[in-house]
Amino acid sequence: MSVNLERIREIFSDYSPEKGNFMVLLHDVQKACGNWLPEEALMEVSKLAKMPLNKVYGFVSFYTMFSTQPRGKHIIRVCKDGPCAVKGSLMLADLLMKELDVDMGETTDDNHFTLEETACIGTCTASPAMMIDDEVYGNVAPESLNSILKKYR
Protein backbone atom coordinates (compact mmCIF):
# COMPACT_ATOMS: atom_id res chain seq x y z
CA MET A 1 0.00 0.00 0.00
CA SER A 2 1.30 3.44 -0.77
CA VAL A 3 1.84 5.88 2.05
CA ASN A 4 -0.39 8.91 2.28
CA LEU A 5 2.20 11.61 2.96
CA GLU A 6 -0.47 14.31 2.94
CA ARG A 7 -2.21 12.59 5.85
CA ILE A 8 1.07 12.31 7.78
CA ARG A 9 1.70 16.02 7.30
CA GLU A 10 -1.75 16.73 8.61
CA ILE A 11 -1.15 14.60 11.69
CA PHE A 12 2.21 16.21 12.31
CA SER A 13 0.99 19.77 11.80
CA ASP A 14 0.34 19.75 15.52
CA TYR A 15 3.76 18.43 16.51
CA SER A 16 6.00 20.31 18.89
CA PRO A 17 8.87 18.98 21.01
CA GLU A 18 7.55 20.99 23.98
CA LYS A 19 4.18 19.28 23.89
CA GLY A 20 5.89 15.92 23.93
CA ASN A 21 3.14 14.51 21.74
CA PHE A 22 5.49 12.51 19.50
CA MET A 23 4.26 9.17 20.74
CA VAL A 24 0.59 9.94 20.21
CA LEU A 25 1.19 11.31 16.74
CA LEU A 26 3.30 8.32 15.74
CA HIS A 27 0.43 6.18 16.83
CA ASP A 28 -1.91 8.06 14.52
CA VAL A 29 0.57 7.77 11.69
CA GLN A 30 0.75 4.03 12.26
CA LYS A 31 -3.04 3.80 12.10
CA ALA A 32 -3.15 5.86 8.94
CA CYS A 33 -0.62 3.53 7.33
CA GLY A 34 -2.55 0.36 8.09
CA ASN A 35 -1.13 -0.70 11.44
CA TRP A 36 2.53 -0.38 10.67
CA LEU A 37 5.19 2.23 9.92
CA PRO A 38 6.61 1.87 6.43
CA GLU A 39 9.98 3.37 5.53
CA GLU A 40 8.48 6.32 3.65
CA ALA A 41 6.31 7.17 6.64
CA LEU A 42 9.29 7.19 9.00
CA MET A 43 11.27 9.37 6.62
CA GLU A 44 8.41 11.84 6.47
CA VAL A 45 8.13 11.82 10.26
CA SER A 46 11.88 12.39 10.51
CA LYS A 47 11.63 15.42 8.22
CA LEU A 48 8.58 16.89 9.92
CA ALA A 49 9.84 16.34 13.47
CA LYS A 50 13.37 17.42 12.47
CA MET A 51 14.61 14.29 14.17
CA PRO A 52 17.30 12.25 12.38
CA LEU A 53 16.08 8.92 11.07
CA ASN A 54 18.33 6.86 13.36
CA LYS A 55 16.71 8.54 16.37
CA VAL A 56 13.20 8.02 15.02
CA TYR A 57 14.04 4.39 14.46
CA GLY A 58 15.55 4.02 17.95
CA PHE A 59 12.35 5.45 19.41
CA VAL A 60 10.01 3.33 17.33
CA SER A 61 11.93 0.12 17.97
CA PHE A 62 11.77 0.69 21.73
CA TYR A 63 8.01 0.28 21.89
CA THR A 64 6.46 -3.04 20.91
CA MET A 65 3.27 -1.34 19.82
CA PHE A 66 5.05 0.13 16.82
CA SER A 67 6.01 -2.06 13.94
CA THR A 68 8.22 -1.46 10.97
CA GLN A 69 6.93 -4.66 9.35
CA PRO A 70 3.55 -4.92 7.64
CA ARG A 71 0.85 -6.12 10.01
CA GLY A 72 -2.69 -7.39 9.75
CA LYS A 73 -5.89 -5.47 10.18
CA HIS A 74 -6.14 -6.48 13.83
CA ILE A 75 -3.27 -6.83 16.26
CA ILE A 76 -3.57 -9.40 19.01
CA ARG A 77 -1.11 -8.82 21.84
CA VAL A 78 -0.68 -11.46 24.51
CA CYS A 79 0.94 -10.34 27.75
CA LYS A 80 4.07 -12.34 28.48
CA ASP A 81 5.12 -10.79 31.80
CA GLY A 82 5.33 -12.67 35.10
CA PRO A 83 1.81 -12.54 36.57
CA CYS A 84 0.15 -13.39 33.24
CA ALA A 85 2.67 -16.08 32.42
CA VAL A 86 1.97 -17.74 35.76
CA LYS A 87 -1.74 -17.72 34.96
CA GLY A 88 -1.34 -19.40 31.59
CA SER A 89 -0.70 -16.69 29.02
CA LEU A 90 1.92 -18.89 27.35
CA MET A 91 -0.69 -21.56 26.74
CA LEU A 92 -2.97 -18.85 25.42
CA ALA A 93 -0.27 -17.80 23.02
CA ASP A 94 0.14 -21.42 21.88
CA LEU A 95 -3.56 -21.78 21.25
CA LEU A 96 -3.63 -18.57 19.23
CA MET A 97 -0.65 -19.66 17.15
CA LYS A 98 -2.44 -22.89 16.34
CA GLU A 99 -5.80 -21.31 15.69
CA LEU A 100 -4.38 -18.61 13.39
CA ASP A 101 -1.62 -20.81 11.98
CA VAL A 102 1.13 -18.24 12.56
CA ASP A 103 4.21 -17.93 14.75
CA MET A 104 4.63 -15.21 17.31
CA GLY A 105 5.17 -11.89 15.50
CA GLU A 106 3.62 -13.12 12.26
CA THR A 107 0.60 -12.09 10.24
CA THR A 108 -2.07 -14.45 8.90
CA ASP A 109 -2.06 -15.13 5.18
CA ASP A 110 -5.25 -13.15 4.68
CA ASN A 111 -3.61 -10.15 6.43
CA HIS A 112 -6.37 -10.19 8.99
CA PHE A 113 -4.55 -10.83 12.28
CA THR A 114 -1.05 -10.22 13.58
CA LEU A 115 -0.06 -12.06 16.72
CA GLU A 116 2.38 -10.37 19.10
CA GLU A 117 3.64 -10.51 22.64
CA THR A 118 3.57 -7.48 24.86
CA ALA A 119 4.99 -6.45 28.19
CA CYS A 120 2.58 -5.87 31.09
CA ILE A 121 -0.48 -3.91 30.06
CA GLY A 122 -1.57 -3.11 33.59
CA THR A 123 -4.32 -5.72 33.86
CA CYS A 124 -2.33 -8.04 36.12
CA THR A 125 -5.24 -8.44 38.54
CA ALA A 126 -7.20 -10.07 35.73
CA SER A 127 -4.39 -12.16 34.30
CA PRO A 128 -3.94 -13.74 31.87
CA ALA A 129 -4.54 -10.66 29.77
CA MET A 130 -4.41 -9.78 26.12
CA MET A 131 -5.35 -6.92 23.83
CA ILE A 132 -6.92 -6.84 20.42
CA ASP A 133 -6.29 -3.45 18.86
CA ASP A 134 -7.25 -1.03 21.66
CA GLU A 135 -9.53 -3.43 23.53
CA VAL A 136 -8.21 -5.16 26.67
CA TYR A 137 -9.36 -8.67 27.60
CA GLY A 138 -8.73 -9.98 31.12
CA ASN A 139 -9.16 -13.45 32.65
CA VAL A 140 -9.04 -14.96 29.19
CA ALA A 141 -10.10 -18.60 29.40
CA PRO A 142 -8.97 -20.90 26.58
CA GLU A 143 -12.55 -21.80 25.73
CA SER A 144 -13.54 -18.14 25.30
CA LEU A 145 -10.86 -17.45 22.67
CA ASN A 146 -12.96 -18.37 19.68
CA SER A 147 -15.88 -16.21 20.63
CA ILE A 148 -13.54 -13.27 21.18
CA LEU A 149 -11.86 -13.77 17.82
CA LYS A 150 -15.22 -14.06 16.10
CA LYS A 151 -15.92 -10.39 16.82
CA TYR A 152 -13.01 -9.45 14.58
CA ARG A 153 -13.34 -11.97 11.78
The answer to whether the bond into 128 is cis (omega within 30° of 0) is yes
What value, to the nearest 5°, has the Cα angle with vertex 48 and ends 45 and 50?
100
- How far is it, in rounded angstroms, from Cα 49 to Cα 26? 11
Cβ contact 96:85 at 8 Å: no
Tell me whether residue 124 or residue 149 sits nearer to ligand FES (CB atom).
Answer: 124
Query: Measured between alpha carbons, how far is residue 147 from residues 96, 102, 152 in Å?
Result: 13, 19, 10
Stretch that binds ligand FES, among 6-14, 32-40, 51-59, 80-88 (CB under 6 A): 80-88
Residue 53 interaction partner, one of ligand FES, another protein, none, beta carbon < 5-8 Å per kind: another protein
Tell me whether residue 42 or residue 75 sits nearer to another protein (CB atom).
Answer: 42
* Least distance to another protein, CB of residue 37, Å: 10
Region 49-78 residues binding another protein, contact defined as CB under 8 A: 52-58, 61-62, 68
Stretch that binds another protein, among 37-45, 71-79, 126-134, 143-151 (CB under 8 A): 37-45
